[in-house]
Structure 1
Amino acid sequence: MLIVLLQLLLAHVLGDFVLQPKSLVEKRKIHIKYLLLHVAIHTIALIIIFSQTLKDHWHGVVFIMATHLAIDSLKIWYEHKWPTKPFRAFVFDQILHLLMIAIVIIFYYPDYFQQLQLWSPTNLLYLLTLLVLVFVTPIIMRVFFSRWDTEQAFTGKKTETLLDAGLVIGVLERLMVVIFIQINFLPGIGFLIAAKSIFRFGDLTQAKNTKFTEYILVGTFLSFTIALLLGVLLKYAMTTIVT
């Protein structure tokens, strides 16, 4: 199973990245023949990689070829409809391609997935922690800061920053804290706090705004506190409840 999975992933990387220059990406938005060329290149890569076992895996090759054409057509439509959201289109596109690869693996190895405990306590704990980090924590912080009129106070500051950059940074830093706790790399948390403090030092010294400084400090400490609590709780659950 692992060999087939790696072969499919190799073909995907070759077809979607290595053998697809930016010029082809732009041209396929204009004319369908370039999209068909891209799918043909992807299919040839699959055939070459599965050349020794093609008679056993041709169903998967055909399935990947057909779904790749459909998914990329959907992506082109999405990019025309929402041209300002290319990253979202890219993420959805890659998720769908990987999902199709997973379907092929399940088709060839159904017994393996029947024995696989998808909803095991370990997987549920990881999923729950991830959801809390990405979705619940930003809401908690938003509600916490609602006592202060931060929208009006820092409107000028927000226009100088990237859209949603603070949200992304917060999610990444909390995720890193939880990971560091799980692998017992506690010094990494200190390095992370120090790195963020260094990058924020310039903003805080130039701002000359006490409210903005307090807002940054409270937000940073609150974010790290939640991440530390989640990391410790996950560590405790994994070592006591699950085992």
Structure 2
Amino acid sequence: MAVLLLLLAHLIADFWLQTDQMVKDKLKYLKKHFLHHLLVSGIALAIIWVYLFEFKHIIHYFVLPLSFIVITHLLIDLLKIKLIDSIKSTRTDNMKRVVFFLMDQVLHVVIILLSCTLFIHISIPDMTASFKELSGTSSLHLVNTVLFIIIVYILATSVSGHIVKNIVGSLPSEFANFEGELTLRNKMIDGIERDQPKTENSFTGEYHYFTYSSPTRSRGKLIGYIERLLVIVLTVIGAYPSIAFIIAAKSIARFKQLDDRNWAEYFLLGTLSSIFLGLVIGLIVQGVLM
């Protein structure tokens, strides 16, 4: 329970309590981000301290792990900021950001596991056993399962959404809202030759119009969330062929937009990235629960 609770606290502070503005200018909002982790991690450690240790040894079981987690989190974030600021403007910017993001999250997880080992005295075999008890007969299996499901939900929505956003990159507003292309053809007859039935002197004018919708990024984000959650469920139950229907449904909904090659490539990259992340998380869930 302790490991899952601390992982959940980290995800809540890092994704649910962070605004887009805080992510863009993390150095400016570093104090606020620090306070978020101090508060959420403090609540999680307080629950662990009360439940597992019954108010005993507050320094060792509460103060020290909280200080260790928050200070190391701050140092890791500063390192990540420095690395991101060092990125030059190249075509590989997005992939570098994804790598830095994944490294950042892995380091945070390692710190949480290390703090559980050093201060809460939970060994690696005990951590492994706790995952095996998620669907077992342990008295804590219900709590562990609920925590695990919430963690999976955050991974499938906010975390995966952030990764997909970094992979596909940012688009100009007119490109992101592109709806389709409309072509009109108009046949015109020269006025001078109009009264001469035997002479046909005409030309065709062709006009191209691009149609755009109002910004609906929040709707697209919601579609991505539902898509990955469906992929996870289908993966867990082994219904892999059904995943193809999700891709088909998205393609039908975006049929007109797919006429534009650039938009089609953007759509394909985002969809494949989202499906891949859903499959990976689904296989992890399947391995833990089955």
Bigger helix fraction: 1
Report which of the two structures shows the higher radius of gyration computed on alpha carbons: 2
TM-based fold match above 0.5: no
TM-score, with length taken from structure 1: 0.45
